[in-house]
Amino acid sequence: MGEPLRIGMVGAGKISGAYLDTLERLDNVVLTAVTDLDPARAQAVADRVPGIAVSGSVAELAARPDVDAVLNLTIPAVHAEVALTALAAGRHVYGEKPLAATLTEADAMLAAAEAMGLRIGCAPDTVLGTGIQTARRAVDDGLIGTPVAATAFMTTPGHERWHPDPEFYYRPGGGPLLDMGPYYLSALVHLLGPVARVTGAASRPRAEREIGSGPRAGERFAVEVDTHVTGVLHHTNGALTTLVMSFDIHGARLPNIEVHGTGGSLSVPDPNGFDGPVALHRDGGDWETLPVSAGYAGAGRGTGLADLAEALATGRPHRASAELSRHVLDIMLTLLASAREGRALPVESTCARPEPVSG
C-alpha cells in the first residue's frame, strides 16, 4: 500500500466527531489539518488528533503542502464555495451531502474538477455498508427476478422536537426531501439505477412549528418549505418507486425501503445506517434473512473518503461520486418542481450505477 491520502478538514461541528471516529481507524487516509469559523472547535479537533495543524481559513488549509484532499463538513449553503476554493488549490474534495445547494453550483464544481484533473466525492456513504450492498447483491443475483417496483418511506413528526435550533430544516434548502432524500435516493440508484422521470405532490399543513427542547423550548417559528413530499420515480430500467418523505407523521409502521420483483420481494435496512438485516421473500415462501454478502464491514462516516483514496491509488472510479450526488440532487429538485407545477417532469441528468462493493 502507498502513502495515505492526507486530509484537511473544513468544519469541526457535530458531524465531524463521527468522521473522526472512522478516520482514526483507517490506514489509507490521515488527517493533517483542520479549520473552522470557530477557532475553539478547530482546536478541539487538534487536541483529539495530536500532530495536526490548525489553519486560519479554507484557503490557508487548501494551500498546505501536506493536504491532498479537503474534507468539506460545512453547512450546505457554502459547500460549493469551499469546494471551489479547494479545487483551485489543486486539492481533491470529499463533502457532506448535498453536493451543492443548486444544480448551477454543482455543475461549476464538476467543471472545475474536470479542468484540474481532480476528483470530487460526496456523502452519503452509508450505501457502501453491508446493508445496502447485500441488498444490491440480491437484486443483481436475480433473487427477486426482474425488479418492477419499490417503496421508500422516511416519516417523522419533525426535527423541532429534539433539535434546539431547528429553523434551518424549515427554510429554503431544507425540508424532509432535501434533508433525508440523499440517503434514500442514493440507495435506490444503487439498487435500481438512475431515474428518468418523476411525478410529485407536496403539502405544508402547518404554518408554524414550536421548538420542543433546549433553552429556546416553546419558541415558535415560520415554516417556509413543504414538509410532506410524495412522488413516483420512473427508473430507466422500468421500475417504479413510490417515495414519501415527511415531517408530518407522528407514528407509522412503514418499511424503510422494499424492492419488489417478478419472483420475490426484498426488505432493505435503513439507508441512514451502514448495516442492518436484509430479508428476502421468495414467491410462495416466507421471509428469510440473508447472510451478509457484500459491502464494507464496520463502515462509518468517512468510508466513502477511504474508497476515494483507494480509487486514486488504483485508478478506478470512486463510488460516492459527484456524478451520483448531482443526479440525486437533480431528482429531488425536479420532484419539488413537479409538485409545484402539477405534472410529471423529466430528470435531465443521469449517472452510471456505481460499482458494487464485493464482500
Q: One of 79, 97, 137, 327 is an active-site residue; which one?
A: 97
Outline where the chain has alpha helix (H).
Answer: 14-23, 39-48, 58-62, 79-88, 103-116, 130-140, 176-192, 303-314, 322-341
CB 24 within 8 A of CB 45: no
User: What does the block give as the cell for 226?
Assistant: 413543504
The CB density around residue 217, as the number of other CB atoms within 10 Å, is 11
Q: How many whole angstroms separate alpha carbon 65 and alpha carbon 83? A: 17
Residue 40, C-beta contacts closer than 8 angstroms, at least 6 positions apart: none
Q: What is the dihedral of CA 135, 311, 14, 253, to 10 degrees?
A: -10
Q: Running DSSP on this structure, what letter comes out for residue 144?
A: T
Residue 83, C-beta contacts closer than 8 angstroms, at least 6 positions apart: 70, 72, 93, 95, 100, 109, 112, 120
DSSP secondary structure, 275-305, as one string: ----EEEETTS-EEEPPP-BSBTT--TTHHH
Read off φ and ψ for residue 9, nearest 5 degrees.
-95, 125
SS3 216: coil
Read off φ and ψ for residue 75, nearest 5 degrees.
-70, 155
Read off φ and ψ for residue 201, nearest 5 degrees.
-145, 150
SS3 328: helix
Q: How many whole angstroms separate alpha carbon 71 and alpha carbon 203? A: 35
What's the alpha-carbon Rg for the chain, to the nearest Å? 20
In Å, how far from its chain's centre is CA 64?
Answer: 28
Catalytic status, residue 97? yes
Q: Which residues are catalytic?
A: 97
